[in-house]
Structure 1
Amino acid sequence: MKKVGITGQSGFIGTHFYNQLGLMPDIVRIPFCDSYFEEDASMDEFVHSCDVIIHLAAMNRNQDADLLYHTNIGLVQKLIASLQRTSSKPHVIFSSSIQEELDNVYGKSKREGRLLLEQWSQQSGSFFTSMLIPNVFGPFGKPFYNSVVATFCHLLATGGEPEIHVDSEIKLIYIDDLFREFYKAISGEIQTTGYRVPFNLKLKVSEILGMLRIFKEFYLEKGIIPVLDSSYKVNLFNTFRSYIDSKTFFPVKLTQHSDTRGAFVEVVRLGVGGQVSFSTTKPGITRGNHYHTRKIERFAVIRGKAVIQLRRIGESRILEFLLDGESPSFVDMPVWHTHNITNVGKDDLYTIFWINEWYDPDDPDTYFEKV
């Protein structure tokens, strides 16, 4: 078992990495708080407890160039000072950037921070890896800070209007794919001080915005799951969905057509395949209490009364939705949100489930955690 800690654990990449490490059977996570940088005793305890430290903590953007530069260098220096005080020799993995090669303050701070850690590694005889990463996108990124994808998703999901200032081509990697590269470094598969993390997507800004506009039109305005004929489109769609305010958007009412024969309800319009299931649930029984990291899933209640609960992994806030088959409706499950459904009525609950992948017992993407 390797004990792994992440500086910058509360950030966009850090949160994903911390959650992903929690799924690894060979990893013990050592929690980190940003305040440790100002508390030598806490920082020393953290450093001394780790076999591996992933140094993510950094300022990405700031109008004050000097503040950005000195903040990033200062964080590296504080980490090194703690390593030296405790005589610790963990494997340090440094999150650098392809911007090292550009003439900007952020790239300069990353390059010089890497050189400081390389010097510490040589002097201490410890293992050091630096990862030069491309632009990263994924759910829950901070708009106007982490990436243009985050900014566009936020604006489109909240009624804003994105603008393209420079229609450049961007090299991108999805957050889950980036984690797999870092996990290789943790496992010792990557042993270099300047590993260039491969991008797996290259798109112009206008192409990204075009796809996101389609997602908004189809999903938010028409209630249609769009055509998702590649893994990167699924990743981009899940990223877009993470910016929708679930509390106000769900449950979505379905149109019910009734006549003397009974009722007809269309549950889902699909531009993608998957698996449709049907269940009955006895009164008082709860199903679910699990989450997915990539799957798109819909719960549609067509008879009976149910409460659906959602909670984002790592957070305590629970969203609750009351659905009644008298007025059929659905809730879609965001990635990285554990969820369940409980029959709160007196009769059997009838639910239709749709998910965009067939169930694969060798790769179920289903992780159990109570809401």
Structure 2
Amino acid sequence: MKTVLVTGAYGFIGRNLVASLNRREDIEVMKIDSKHSLQELEEYALKADFIYHLAGINRPENSEEFMIGNLGYTQHLINILNANRKKTPILLSSSIQAELDNPYGKSKQAAEDAVLAYGKKEDVCTFIYRLPNVFGKWSRPNYNSVVATWCYNISREIPIQVNNPEAEVELVYIDDVVESFIAAMDGPDALDTIVYHGISRSFKVKLKDLEAKLVSFRTSRNTLVISSLKSDFERFLYSTYLSYLPEDNFGYDLEMKHDNRGWLAEFIKTEHSGQVFISRTKPGITRGNHWHHTKVEKFLVIEGEAVVKFRQIEGGEVLEYPVNGLSLRVIDIPPGYTHSITNTGSTDLITLFWANELFNPDKPDTYYLEV
């Protein structure tokens, strides 16, 4: 069992790191933040086999606090280890701003130097991570993350401010950060030959494109069109956006089109992968009796009993496929076959449908013909 100390454990990166560490049976996690006393810090530091030092100051009331919160706290932690002859590996979460000549950057550089000096003097592994903008769940909006602030505001239809739409930001995803941090703890000592560590990948995006993508996520509830999620960045950004939804607004209603057959509702539409819809059909009712030149579909009955029928449009034998909600069976609907689905049971029929293209009322590619 390895005992791990995480300072800044209740911050953005800390919460995500702790959540991953807590899943491991070989790790005991001790958490420290600004509410804990220096005595508690000493108690935990002396128990730790590895220290993630994530605590720091980046939005103080005055610039003098940068050195106190970043260098001072770091040096106090190192002094505890030195005074008790503890040689504990330390991973320091720093910032790419450590390269800049401003109060925050200077304080981060000073904290880095203190950790590096400790590692060299005590011959112990230290890991300095200079992070760019990190995004993901649990980052505080209106603090120091454009992604967090814009996700929060846009999900609530609060206006955002874009000073330079063409400006480009470099982002790293929180899961990649956590994975890299844990790999450093688990990895060989040879990693210590690297002075400054980075995350395996980052994403660069213009502010105007970031705004457009987040707005598209919001409007998808009305249009049902989910914009492209083909890249990892887009998938990560969508997950991040959803994590900022107001807790009283997780749900949204679909339009149900009722008629004498039951109802039908569109669920999800995509730009390149078609759409999904669902229907409820009364006993004895038939849907369909049409065919397509190019459009294809999949039918999946999830409740009730039905028969799906096919016939080539030129005529010929009628094909029948019995289906029911007890044994899920997907039925492919090829082009050139007129087809129908009939509720053959005594209860309502619930069916999921997928079509490979969005419905276009100007070119529906749907032609009536009884099976």
TM-score clears 0.5 = yes
Name 2:154's counterpart in structure 1.
156
Task: Classify 1:50/1:275 alpha carbon distance in 2 versus 1 (closer, same or farther; 3 Å).
Answer: farther
Which residue of 204, 210, 213 corresponds with 1:211?
213
1:268 shift after superposition: 2.8
Q: Distance in 1 between matches of 2:71 and 2:200?
A: 25
Once the two structures are aligned, what percentage of the paired residues are identical?
31
User: 1:175 Cα deviation (Å)?
Assistant: 0.5
Select which of 58, 61, 64 maps to 1:60.
58
Structure 2 partner of 1:9: 9
Query: 1:18 matched to which residue of 2?
Result: 18
CA–CA distance in 2 between the matches of 1:251 and 1:63? 39
Instruction: Please list, as runs of the form range in 1=range in 2, the aligned pairs for 1:97-112 lying within 5 A after superposition.
Output: 97-112=95-110
* Cα distance between partner residues in 1 of 2:199 and 2:99: 14
Which residue is equivalent to 2:169? 170
1:49 and 2:35 correspond: no
State the distance in 1 between where 2:162 and 2:31 align.
39
Residue in structure 1 matched with residue 178 of structure 2 by the alignment: 179
Deviations 1:2-49 (A, max 9, x none): 32221000000110111122234543322334333x331x11221122
Q: Name the residue aligned to 1:83.
A: 81
Distance 1:80 1:245 in 2: 41
Give the TM-score normalised by the residue count of structure 1. Answer: 0.68
Q: CA deviation at 1:257?
A: 2.4
Q: Distance in 2 between matches of 1:245 and 1:49?
A: 40
Partner of 2:238: 237
Cα gap change, 1:72/1:155 in structure 2, threshold over 3 Å: closer, same or farther? same
Q: Secondary structure at the match of 1:35?
A: coil
Counterpart-to-counterpart distance in 2, 1:32 and 1:48: 13
- Residue in 2 aligned with 1:263? 263
Give per-residue Cα distances to partners, 1:116-174, cap 9 Å, x unaligned. Answer: 12222233332211111121111121112231111111111122111122442211110
1:72 and 1:265 mapped to 2: Cα distance? 55
Output the CA distance in 2 between the equivalents of 1:250 and 1:43. Answer: 39
Q: Which residue does the alignment assign to 2:202? A: 200
Matched, 1:131 2:129: yes
Q: 1:9 touches 1:32 (CA, 8 Å); kept in 2?
A: yes
Structure 2 contact 3–47 (Cα < 8 Å) conserved: yes
Please say if residues 134 and 198 of structure 1, whose CA atoms lie closer than 8 Å, have aligned partners that are also in contact: no
Structure 1 residue 272: Cα displacement: 7.2
Distance 1:274 1:231, change over 3 A: farther
Distance change >3 Å, CA 122–CA 164, structure 1 → 2:
same
Q: What letter matches 1:213 in structure 2? A: V
Task: Map Cα deviations across residues 216-253 of structure 1 (whole Å, 9 max, x no partner).
Answer: 2223x434333211111010111111111132x13322
Task: Report the equivalent of 2:114.
Answer: 116
The answer for the alignment partner of 1:28 in structure 2 is 28
Name the CA distance, whole Å, in 1 between partners of 2:123 and 2:55: 23
SS at match of 2:142: coil
- Against the structure 1 CA distance between its residues 194 and 55, is the aligned structure 2 distance closer, same or farther, given a 3 Å change threshold? same
Kept in 1, the 8 Å contact 2:224–2:267? The answer is no
Which deviates more from structure 2 when the two are superposed, residues 167-176 or residues 120-129? 120-129
Q: Please, what TM-score do these two structures have when normalized by structure 2?
A: 0.68
Q: What letter is aligned with 1:241? A: L
Q: Distance in 1 between matches of 2:158 and 2:251?
A: 23
| Pair member with larger Rg | 2
CA contact (8 A) 1:4 1:51 kept: yes
Give, in whole Å, the separation in 2 of the partners of 1:105 and 1:57.
17
Q: Is the 8 A contact 1:7 1:56 kept in 2?
A: yes
Distance of aligned partners of 1:151 and 1:174 in 2 relative to their CA distance in 1, 3 Å threshold: same
Q: Which amino acid in 2 is paired with 1:193? A: V
